[in-house]
Amino acid sequence: MRYLLDTNVLIDYITYDYVSADIRELSTDYENIIYVSSESVKEFIHLVQAGKIILKKEYRTLDVFDLIENTFFFEVKYVTKEHLRTFAQLDTVEGHNDPSDTSTSSVTTV
């Protein structure tokens, strides 16, 4: 199966804050392919740069790709024109005004 992690799950997965047993099981099953949107990677980097996620001292912001691809073996999928056209057709959800959804209330160390 193929799965796409959203930004919150990506953050939780990388920081080990909390990821359900189901998600851990899916991600460790080598028959599954786990994708992460380039937009989620961008949001993750933004949160690191904003100080909302603090990387361990051995990691730099540039290491985020290595963490995602070489440590967790997730495949980064890049946003395409087709994705943006689909996004433009989606209805907005009441009370959800941030399409990037980069809010986080706590500082997390990775």
Containing domain of residue 58, as a range?
2-86+102-109
Residues 14 and 67: beta-carbon distance below 8 Å:
yes
- pLDDT score for 16: 66
pLDDT classification of 35: cutoffs 50, 70, 90 = very high
pLDDT digit string, tens, across residues 58-103 = 777 778 888 889 888 999 999 889 988 987 887 777 776 555 544 4
For residue 91, being part of any structural domain is answered with no
Number of domains in the chain: 1
For residue 96, being part of any structural domain is answered with no
d(CA 72, CA 36): 11
pTM exceeds 0.85: no
For residue 80, being part of any structural domain is answered with yes
- Could you tell me where the DSSP H helices lie in 56-104? 64-66, 81-89
| 52-78 burial: b if 16+ Cβ within 10 Å, else e | bbebeeeeeeebbeebbeeeeebeebe
d(CA 54, CA 64): 12
For residue 35, being part of any structural domain is answered with yes
- pLDDT score for 76: 94
pLDDT digit string, tens, across residues 36-49 = 999 899 988 888 88
For residue 94, being part of any structural domain is answered with no
- pLDDT score for 102: 41
- pLDDT score for 108: 40
Beta bridge partners of 108: 53
